[in-house]
């Protein structure tokens, strides 16, 4: 793979940025990668582990001369970061992000950026429950989707270049409109996270009346919920605050289905339960056939490196 951008600046140095750095290096996609994080502790860690070719003490320094700038901070911080870097962006540079919500990021970031840059929001559909500069790994994006969300008047060449860059990091690339993205992600990611948070919260309440048996005897279903519910609190707070409408829409539907299942249990309607679980099993098969998961008993997690 050859160099696609001469200088890439990563703003925010957590799970996604550090995975991007290792994936960029693996494929030689950038001449130089600069990095910036707001805390000195994160910048020190980055320097210690060799994360980024050059870790800068200010965002301004990191973006100077960069032809790609990627904002890798929580969704709620995107607007403030955009305002901070805007005066220092090179003419013709592409500014992108990796936020899990798109309409709110476009609204928060767009107004700050100068006309002489290309703004192309993006969202890699890949992650783990870990965060911070030491949590990244080069293979995170392999065979995962990265959705590019072009805004009005996006330059075709800049879009194509960013798509090549994500493909170089191992991802499959698709384009999607922002509101549609937010609805799809509410179904596939945001609502499931909220449900996992709730289930673990309920178990935590219950733990007090069962002498910790919930933890001690935690079965696979509950363990999977706890993994999801261990995700970064700041990131997920911001996701729900900024993808409010779509999440509430999906949770409304979820509640209706839950009541229907509850009723089937109460009335002993086994046919309803069986038909429902047969339908959901087919979805799981579809995901495996699409190569987005493995049917190994532990979801293949043991094989995934960190």
**Where along the sequence are the contacts to ligand NAP (CB under 6 A)?**
12-17, 37-39, 42, 72-75, 77, 81, 98-100, 124, 127, 131-132, 232, 235
| Residue whose CB is less far from ligand NAP, 18 or 214 | 18
- In the complex, the smallest distance separating the C-beta of residue 239 from ligand NAP, rounded to whole angstroms, is 6
| Residue whose CB is less far from ligand NAP, 72 or 169 | 72
Q: Vertex 13, ends 7 and 18: CA angle to 5°?
A: 75
| Residue whose CB is less far from ligand NAP, 26 or 130 | 130
| Residue whose CB is less far from ligand NAP, 5 or 240 | 240
CA 292 to chain centre: 15
- In the complex, the smallest distance separating the C-beta of residue 264 from ligand NAP, rounded to whole angstroms, is 34
| Residue 60 Cα distances to 6, 17, 39, 218, 292, angstroms | 17, 17, 15, 48, 38
| Residue whose CB is less far from ligand NAP, 14 or 168 | 14
- In the complex, the smallest distance separating the C-beta of residue 140 from ligand NAP, rounded to whole angstroms, is 9
- In the complex, the smallest distance separating the C-beta of residue 243 from ligand NAP, rounded to whole angstroms, is 10
- In the complex, the smallest distance separating the C-beta of residue 142 from ligand NAP, rounded to whole angstroms, is 14
Q: 115-119 long-range CB contacts below 8 Å, 24 or more apart?
A: 116/89, 116/91, 116/92, 117/89, 117/90, 117/91, 117/92, 117/93, 118/92, 118/93, 118/94, 118/154, 118/155, 118/158, 118/159, 119/94, 119/95, 119/151, 119/154
């Amino acid at each position: 793979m050859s160099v696609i951008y001469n200088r890439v600046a990563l703003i925010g140095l957590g799970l996604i940025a550090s995975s991007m750095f290792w994936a960029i290096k693996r494929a030689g996609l950038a001449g130089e990668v600069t990095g910036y994080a707001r805390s000195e502790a994160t910048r020190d860690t980055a320097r210690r582990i060799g994360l980024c070719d050059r870790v800068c003490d200010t965002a301004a320094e990191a973006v100077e001369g960069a032809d790609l700038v990627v904002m890798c901070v929580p969704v709620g911080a995107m607007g403030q970061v955009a305002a901070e870097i805007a005066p220092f962006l090179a003419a013709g540079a592409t500014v992108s992000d990796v936020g899990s919500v798109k309409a709110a990021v476009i609204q928060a970031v767009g107004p700050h950026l100068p006309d002489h840059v290309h703004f192309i929001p993006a969202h890699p559909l890949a992650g783990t429950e870990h965060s911070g500069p030491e949590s990244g790994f080069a293979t995170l994006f392999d065979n995962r989707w990265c959705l590019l969300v072009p805004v009005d008047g996006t330059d075709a060449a800049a879009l194509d270049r960013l798509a090549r860059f994500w493909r170089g990091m191992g991802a499959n690339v698709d384009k999607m409109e922002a509101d549609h993205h937010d609805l799809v992600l509410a179904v596939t990611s945001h609502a499931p996270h909220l449900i996992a948070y709730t289930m673990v919260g309920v178990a935590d309440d219950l733990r007090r009346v069962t002498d910790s048996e919930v933890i001690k005897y935690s079965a696979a279903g509950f363990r999977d919920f706890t993994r999801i519910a261990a995700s970064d609190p700041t990131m997920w707070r911001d996701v729900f605050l900024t993808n409010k409408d779509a999440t509430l829409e999906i949770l409304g539907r979820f509640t209706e289905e839950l009541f229907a299942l509850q009723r089937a249990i109460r009335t002993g309607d086994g046919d309803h339960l069986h038909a429902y679980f047969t339908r959901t099993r087919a979805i799981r098969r579809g995901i495996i056939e699409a190569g987005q998961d493995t049917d190994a008993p532990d979801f293949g997690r043991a094989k995934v490196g960190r």
